[in-house]
């Protein structure tokens, strides 16, 4: 059993094999499987087997491993399914669209006719003071 495990987490159960999934990659730390409700053909989720609530909580070594696998899968989606592009997305918190609170990376292959719209609008009406904003963010690094 992994070090971090949450009793009521569906992705922990998938990582432990208690709930089945269609796997595309597995090693001791990382699992990748097809999204049950895909946004496009080949939509894959990459997770750490250990439970971390979101991207911000994942230790650096595991984050590196997860993104390495996401990159390989992205390359494979292009060579095997002939995807023309890839969206890599990881949602943090409900406001950003996170519905499963176990870290995962969406690897979403894109095709010219997929009809998928990732909509970052509306743009903010407010005019930000970008240099001041950058300085404010830097204080947290
Ligand atoms: P989120 O909204 O948290 O960024 O993404 C969660 C993703 O997990 C969704 O795309 C959803 O379709 C997928 N998902 C939720 N439950 C299951 C499941 O039991 N099995 C699989 N394979 N995917 C799931
Ligand atoms: Zn979990």
pLDDT digits (tens, 9 = 90+) for 17-63: 999 999 999 999 999 999 999 999 999 999 999 999 999 999 999 99
Predicted confidence (pLDDT) per residue in 108-131, tens digit: 999 999 999 988 777 777 888 999
Return the number of other C-beta atoms located less than 10 Å from residue 121's C-beta.
6
* Cα end-to-end span (Å), the chain: 34
Distance CA(42)–CA(18), nearest Å, equals 23
Which residue has the CA at smallest separation from atom 21 of ligand 1? 36
Q: From the candidates 43, 102, 104, 106, which is the catalytic residue?
A: 104
Predicted confidence (pLDDT) per residue in 57-86, tens digit: 999 999 999 999 999 999 999 999 999 999
pTM: 0.95
- Measuring from each residue's beta carbon to the nearest atom of ligand 1, which residues come in under 6 Å? 10, 21, 33-37, 45, 91, 97-100
């Amino acid at each position: 059993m992994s070090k971090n495990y949450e009793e009521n987490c569906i992705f922990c159960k998938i990582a432990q094999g208690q709930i089945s999934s269609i796997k595309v990659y597995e090693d001791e730390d990382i699992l990748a499987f097809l999204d049950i409700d895909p946004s496009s053909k080949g939509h894959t989720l990459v997770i750490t087997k250990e439970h971390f609530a979101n991207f911000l909580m994942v230790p650096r070594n595991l984050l590196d491993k997860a993104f390495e696998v996401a990159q390989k899968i992205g390359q494979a989606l292009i060579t095997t399914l002939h995807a023309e592009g890839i969206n890599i997305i990881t949602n943090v918190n409900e406001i950003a669209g996170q519905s499963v609170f176990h870290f995962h990376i969406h690897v979403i292959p894109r095709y010219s006719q997929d009809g998928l719209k990732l909509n970052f609008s509306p743009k903010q009406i407010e005019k930000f003071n970008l240099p001041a904003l950058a300085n404010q963010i830097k204080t947290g690094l």
